[in-house]
Amino acid sequence: MKKFIIKQNDADQRLDKFVSKAAAGLSPSLVYKYIRKKSIKVNGKRAQISYRLQQGDIVEMYINDEFFLPKKTGFLNIGYNPDPDIIYEDENLILADKKPGVLVHESSDEKRDTFINQILLYLYNKGEYSPDTEASFTPSLCNRLDKNTGGIVLIAKNANAQRLLYDIVKYRKITKKYLALVHGTFKDKSSVLTAYLKKDTDKNMVDVSDTEKPGYRKIVTGYTVVDQSDKFSLLEIDLITGRTHQIRAHMAHIGHPIVGDCKYGYARDNKNLPFTHQALYAYSVEFKIDDEKNDLFYLNGKVFKVKNVYFEKFLSRK
């Protein structure tokens, strides 16, 4: 039997969700079975699967030890002490600049040196996170970027901030802007583009169409030309919808692939250019939280930007 005293980071979640995290070896069907059969109790009594845990509740689990899997501590073994580029940090969240070439989460090719592991070790070294003292919560990324795209990532430091940040991103109470260096020049210095996109999971690519088709989802991308030469343009891009590879595919679709992007552009066009990654950067976020009761309302109206994006001065050298 294992006993858990519900702490702040565990509170306000359904009992079944907590159990599935605290006893990660349980299948969903076993979670429901053990709760129904009173093998899992709250405050010494049977509880409903949907019961929302309160701080101070006592959860007792009368199940085999094999279902309590070891906590994930791979972040302790990345081999160095990270020094993430922190743009902003308080008791609830971190805004950090992820560099191009870094995976946000582990993959089959990389298990340790990921951006989330860098952040976890950073917080661990500060004494702000330890897997041994958390039953169900781990600091987490609340938005994602492609491996070869750099820019601002939001990290929740507690469970309440995690829920709020997920909602802020989901309901677009945050404006994300990108800088992109693209091939070619523009007659229209500012425009809002609309098209339709379909993802091919097997190829990890997307297709863009000017007309609506079955399986295609609408995309909207705004751009403003910041600077341009005879061959290249620096754009500020407003990601109005957020689909997979939207900016890269949409720019390529209109004949302006991002410099360094050989997936949606052409290798021959990028030959002899000083870029090993696509020149795309999530460089700015602005919070637009309209609910004064939201615990993150203090961020409303604040704009955070990356300084010195590596390709920002490229045109001045041409």
Compute the distance between CA of residue 293 and CA of residue 296 in angstroms, rounded to an integer: 8
Output the pLDDT for position 110.
55
Residues 192 and 241: beta-carbon distance below 8 Å: no
pTM (2 d.p.): 0.90
Residues 229-268 have pLDDT tens digits of 999 999 999 999 989 999 999 999 999 999 999 999 999 9
Mean pLDDT of 274-285: 95
160 pLDDT band, cuts 50/70/90, is very high
Measured between alpha carbons, how far is residue 50 from residues 10, 12, 13, 18 in Å? Answer: 14, 11, 9, 11
SS3 assignment for the chain: CEEEECCCCCCCCEHHHHHHHHCCCCCHHHHHHHHHCCCEEECCECCCCCCECCCCCEEEECCCHHHCCCCCCHHHHCCCCCCCEEEEECCCEEEEEECCCCCCCCCCCCCCCCHHHHHHHHHHHCCCCCHHHCCCCCCEECCCCCCCCEEEEEEECCHHHHHHHHHHHHCCCEEEEEEEEEECCCCCCEEEEEEEEEEECCCCEEEEECCCCCCCEEEEEEEEEEEECCCEEEEEEEECCCCCCHHHHHHHHCCCCECCCCCCCCHHHHCCCCCCCCCEEEEEEEECCCCCCCCCHHHCCCEEECCCCCCCCCHHHC
Residues 71-124 have pLDDT tens digits of 888 899 888 899 999 999 999 999 999 999 999 987 656 557 899 999 999 999
Domains and CATH numbers, the chain: 2-67 (3.10.290.10), 74-171 (3.30.2350.10), 176-317 (3.30.2350.10)
Residues 50 and 16: beta-carbon distance below 8 Å: yes
Which tokens belong to 287? Answer: 């919070």
Q: What percent of the chain has pLDDT over 70?
A: 97
Compute the distance between CA of residue 11 and CA of residue 224 in angstroms, rounded to an integer: 44
